[in-house]
Chains A and B, each alone.
Chain A
Amino acid sequence: EAQVTQNPRYLITVTGKKLTVTCSQNMNHEYMSWYRQDPGLGLRQIYYSMNVEVTDKGDVPEGYKVSRKEKRNFPLILESPSPNQTSLYFCASRRDGASNQPQHFGDGTRLSIL
């Protein structure tokens, strides 16, 4: 089954404690992306990756890092989490960088930073 898998699904942690949210896709997609969803703001892009070792900032990249060492994996790293990063996070992938390709989403990771 084609899917995007995120872990963990839920995490409560404290300010400053580094954390990583993993994302994996099994569709051999070149393009992957991370979004955060906040009430009334829709989904905003944090970082994206066009392919292995190719990443770039989205609209809200401050406080986040990513890496793309393998095609299937695209982890999101919060080096020093702060309360304003409490949010619902989604990883997504699509076949390539073209603008008219459907995007597939994981089921989300709810982060609470105390």
Chain B
Amino acid sequence: GENVEQHPSTLSVQEGDSAVIKCTYSDSASNYFPWYKQELGKGPQLIIDIRSNVGEKKDQRIAVTLNKTAKHFSLHITETQPEDSAVYFCAASGLDGSYGKLTFGQGTILTVHP
């Protein structure tokens, strides 16, 4: 089955700096890669996603890049703000039999210091 590794487990940055979180996956058939943000007491919220036919996607201060050959993808947050502090999860989705299964990374605790 799919295996997703996420690094780092914790990340501390100063407000205004950039933050990068990296994930690798094992199944070359995976074709969908979402990123979720989880705030305290809340469920994971989708913040950006990328499909395997695209190398990069950007939404304001957030961008995701995908390298299918190397089987890794990354989340980039620019001009970080204290409200970006949360747990971030990457995930990879591919067909498991007849349905799409989402496999998550271990999570990254991002702290943005004012």
Chain A interfacial positions (CB closer than 8 Å to B): 4, 31, 35, 40-45, 48, 50, 59, 90, 92, 97-108
Contacts and interface: CB of A to CB of B under 8 A. Distances in A.
Contacts of B31: 99-100
Nearest to A48: B99
Interface stretch (B13-21, B66-74, B90-98): B90-98
User: Which of A102, A103, A104: most chain B CB closer than 10 A?
Assistant: A103
Interface stretch (B44-52, B55-63, B78-86): B44-52
B105 A106 contact: no
A106 B43 contact: yes
Contacts, number: 64
B99 A42 contact: no
B24 interface: no
B46 A100 contact: no
A102 B49 contact: yes
Contacts of A44: 104
B41 A107 contact: yes
B99 A105 contact: no
